[in-house]
């Protein structure tokens, strides 16, 4: 599934390429359309960000941006 073109909510999300749009079956069941955001979107996004930063140790000049 191409989340960048088929899902307007996911198309501008900072973790879309890691998430892949969540579970399309879950989305179909909960809202009746597989192209919407997963009902667990906020949880998935926070989990991905937390996991990425759990291994990060800030250093001088890292240049890391934390905004989504």
Instruction: Give a yes or no: residue 27 inside a domain.
Output: yes
Q: Which residues contact 17 (CB under 8 A, 6 or more apart)?
A: 3
Task: Please give the chain's pLDDT, 68 residues, in tens.
Answer: 677 777 888 888 889 888 888 888 888 898 898 888 888 899 999 999 998 888 766 665 556 555 55
Q: How many domains does the chain have?
A: 1
Q: Cβ atoms within 10 A of the Cβ of 7, count? A: 23
Which domain, by its residues, includes 43?
A: 3-54
Instruction: Give a yes or no: residue 12 inside a domain.
Output: yes
Instruction: Give a yes or no: residue 47 inside a domain.
Output: yes
Instruction: Give a yes or no: residue 67 inside a domain.
Output: no
Instruction: Give a yes or no: residue 64 inside a domain.
Output: no
Instruction: Give a yes or no: residue 62 inside a domain.
Output: no
pTM score, whole prediction:
0.63
Supply the DSSP string of 20-67, one letter for each residue.
TTS-HHHHHHHHS-TTS--TTHHHHHHHHHHHHHHT----TT------
Instruction: Give a yes or no: residue 61 inside a domain.
Output: no
Instruction: Give a yes or no: residue 60 inside a domain.
Output: no
């Amino acid at each position: 599934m191409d989340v960048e073109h088929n899902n307007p909510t996911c198309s501008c999300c900072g973790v879309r390429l890691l998430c892949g749009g969540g579970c399309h079956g879950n989305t179909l069941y909960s809202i009746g359309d597989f192209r919407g955001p997963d009902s667990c979107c906020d949880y998935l996004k926070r989990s991905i960000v937390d996991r990425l930063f759990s291994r990060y140790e800030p250093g001088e000049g890292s240049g890391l941006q934390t905004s989504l």
